[in-house]
Amino acid sequence: MEKRISPDADVADLELEAVIGFNGHGPTGLKCHPDQEHLVFPLGWTAPIQAINTQEQNFLHGHGNNISCVTISKSGTYVASGQVTFMGFKADIILWDYKERELIARLSLHKGKIEDLTFSLNDLYLVSLGGPDDGK
């Protein structure tokens, strides 16, 4: 006999605890944080931050499509991630606060894909490169 859950029943939201995998679509996508204790990498629509020694994971959620690139500022204060989207649509860049694991800003400057991102040496500037459909 099959037990069915009523659509009105309270069901707790499931929270992502850990993932295993790396989709490998972002060239140079696996980044080591300057603290030498954490890895940041793209995995679909999210970017896990994984402690190297304990395997503990946190997740940067906010993209609406696959992440195409990730970068970390020289000081380790910021993480930036870019995504790919459909041709003609704006692709988001998200600036994250590394310590708080929170979204600071969402930038929609390029069409189609964010090819690469990098911070200036003093962390004051974030440089972005659009994909082949963008030309910026």
Cα dihedral across residues 84, 64, 23, 52: positive or negative:
positive
Angle at 35 between CA 77 and CA 60, to 5 degrees: 55
Per-residue pLDDT, averaged over 103-131, amounts to 95
pTM of structure: 0.81
Per-residue pLDDT, averaged over 106-127, amounts to 95
Over the stretch 41-60, which tens digit does the pLDDT of each residue have?
998 899 999 999 998 999 99
Domain 31-130 has CATH 3.40.50.10540: no
